[in-house]
């Protein structure tokens, strides 16, 4: 009964006119950036973050969440129609989806993606509603030692799931943590790494880092390597799949939903990993493995269900532990903080309308996405004809104006330029900016709980090993680090993310 009462509170919040409106705006923008290769939900959320500061907290978070899971839907449209995934997790959908389109079955492929995404999103929202409260109650029993070990585990696991070199991912996290220490010491107020600049006394602005690293840097990279985009597709017909298609879709959708719901809570690229894992599972269990890569509908339904389920369940660690499982979730942490809310287990009791309203809005968003995606396919494909040289300067200008409007401080715009250039250099060196952002967000939390635990234990570092939960979490962190550097695992990671790069 308590769950039903909470959901009633959530739907009453989510169905407020302004919340439905901004949920629609979020999923619409999410679909658009999912369709357009090279932008992505991380850059979009980073650049739209400044304009949400004037919103009510629940409205801002509903819109930003809509952008994220809306991008999972949009990425499949161009993957199927023109073999160009708009979102990284849709790369595997292109393998069979585009083959179906070439055979004149684009309608069935798009319907499979939309139906699978809706079912997975709905189920994952239920999983989120059921799993989050008990996990939050457990988290309330954590002390500083447990939180330190948990944050450390999250950072290490994000290295394991990151693309490319493990050493580079570790270096990016260390650099992010270092940037997080800039400003005044949390206990003594002593300035650290400010180099005489008074603007740095309050620390580096989160929005500037996010917009620079994920907005400007990605745009510079895409302008350098503009992809050829040709939309040659006849009018899509027969959007409703046949009886045989529906029969073949059911099991992959269910398996993909379960797999995505489980992998979505993992730090790093859980949604990308889920879609590739789902494709591998479907190919292995299929009675027709020879059809995969040649237009098997299971190769569309399974991965699309998996990445959408993962997108929803990635909110579980954010809402219950305050830990981001993905760069977009790190941006959501920033959105919580700038609205004066500390993400973590207290949100469910301190801000119940926000917590349950956000969960309920995901179901509304999934309904809106089904209504948006199939009827407007022609619009999404036409968007691909917008030249990057026109689109990207407008995006940067919008992001700079939004960031400047927060505090009317030109220093924030200079910071965007600095982190944009730094992010571009790191990308050219083969380093991912995502671990850096996770380190920047979680670094202060790591430092605070480390020092708090040592103060309570009067400097005794063994407190991290003598408390059972902390010791288990540290052991898992060490195991994850060992796994990440094993040659066999490293080769497997490279294979999994080949399509994503």
Q: Read off the pLDDT of residues 260-290 as tens digits, 9 standing for 90 and up.
A: 888 887 766 667 778 878 888 888 888 888 7
CA-nearest of 343, 302, 303 to 64 is 343
pTM: 0.75
Angstrom distance (rounded) from CA 71 to CA 308: 9
CA-nearest of 366, 248, 360, 267 to 309 is 366
Angstrom distance (rounded) from CA 357 to CA 65: 12
Burial status of residue 157 (CB atoms within 10 A of its CB: 0-12, 13-18, 19 or more): buried
Burial status of residue 387 (CB atoms within 10 A of its CB: 0-12, 13-18, 19 or more): exposed
> Considering only 310-314, 371-375, 495-499, which range has the smallest mean pLDDT?
495-499
Both tokens of 495, joined, read: 């294979």
CA-nearest of 52, 47, 76, 71 to 62 is 52
Q: Which residues, including other chains, have CB under 8 Å from residue 154's CB and lie 6 or more apart?
A: 267, 317, 323, 325, 438, 442
The helix (run of H) or strand (run of E) holding residue 183 is strand 183-184
Residue 499 has what pLDDT? 41
Can you list the pairs that 341-350 forms with residues at least 24 positions away whose Cβ atoms lie under 8 Å?
A: 341/57, 343/318, 343/319, 344/139, 344/320, 345/136, 345/137, 345/139, 345/140, 345/142, 345/320, 345/321, 346/140, 347/136, 347/319, 348/132, 348/133, 348/136, 348/319, 348/320
Half-sphere exposure in the Cβ direction for 237 (13 Å, CA): 5
Length of the chain: 501
Residue predicted with more confidence, 45 or 364:
364
Q: What is the pLDDT of residues 154-212, one digit of tens each?
A: 888 777 666 667 788 889 989 999 998 998 888 888 899 888 888 888 888 877 887 88
Angstrom distance (rounded) from CA 252 to CA 309: 13
């Amino acid at each position: 009964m308590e769950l039903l009462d909470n959901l009633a509170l959530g739907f009453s919040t989510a169905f407020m006119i302004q919340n439905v409106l901004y949920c629609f705006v979020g999923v619409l923008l999410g679909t658009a950036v999912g369709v357009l290769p090279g932008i992505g939900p991380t850059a979009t959320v980073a650049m739209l973050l400044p304009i949400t500061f004037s919103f009510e907290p629940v409205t801002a978070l509903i819109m930003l969440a809509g952008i994220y899971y809306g991008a999972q839907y949009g990425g499949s449209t161009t993957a199927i129609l023109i073999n160009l995934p708009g979102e990284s997790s849709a790369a595997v959908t292109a393998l069979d989806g585009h083959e179906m389109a070439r055979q004149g079955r684009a309608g069935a492929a798009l319907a499979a993606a939309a139906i699978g995404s809706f079912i997975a999103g709905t189920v994952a929202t239920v999983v989120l509603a059921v799993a989050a409260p008990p996990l939050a109650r457990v988290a309330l029993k954590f002390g500083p030692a447990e939180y330190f070990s948990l944050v450390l585990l999250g950072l290490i696991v994000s290295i394991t799931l990151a693309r490319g070199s493990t050493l580079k991912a570790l270096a990016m996290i260390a650099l992010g943590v270092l940037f997080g220490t800039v400003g005044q010491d949390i206990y003594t107020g002593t300035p650290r790494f400010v180099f005489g600049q008074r603007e740095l006394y309050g620390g580096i602005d989160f929005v500037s880092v996010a917009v620079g690293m994920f907005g400007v840097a990605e745009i510079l990279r895409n302008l350098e390597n503009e992809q050829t985009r040709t939309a040659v597709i006849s009018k899509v017909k027969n959007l409703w799949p046949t009886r045989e298609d529906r029969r073949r879709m059911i099991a992959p959708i269910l398996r993909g939903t379960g797999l995505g719901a489980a992998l979505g809570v993992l730090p790093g690229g859980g949604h990308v990993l889920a879609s590739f894992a789902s494709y591998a599972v479907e190919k292995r269990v299929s009675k027709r493995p020879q059809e995969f890569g040649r237009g098997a509908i299971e190769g569309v339904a399974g991965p699309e269900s998996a990445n959408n389920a993962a997108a929803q369940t990635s909110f579980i660690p954010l809402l219950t532990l305050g830990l981001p499982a993905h760069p977009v979730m790190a941006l959501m942490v920033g959105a919580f903080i700038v609205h004066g809310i500390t993400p973590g287990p207290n949100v469910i009791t301190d801000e119940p309308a926000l917590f349950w309203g956000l969960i309920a809005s995901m179901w509304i968003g999934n309904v809106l996405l089904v209504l948006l995606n199939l009827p407007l396919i022609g619009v999404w494909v036409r968007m691909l004809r917008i030249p990057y040289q026109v689109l990207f300067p407008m995006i940067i200008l919008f992001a700079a104006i939004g960031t400047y409007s927060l505090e009317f401080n030109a220093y924030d715009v200079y910071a965007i330029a600095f982190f944009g250039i730094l992010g571009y250099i790191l990308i050219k060196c083969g380093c991912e900016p995502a671990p850096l952002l996770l380190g920047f967000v979680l670094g202060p939390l790591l430092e605070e709980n480390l020092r708090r635990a040592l103060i309570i234990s009067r400097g005794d570092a063994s407190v991290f090993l003598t408390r059972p939960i902390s010791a288990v979490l540290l052991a898992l962190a060490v195991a994850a680090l060992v796994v990440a550097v094993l040659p066999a695992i490293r080769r497997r990671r490279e294979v999994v993310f080949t399509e994503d790069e």
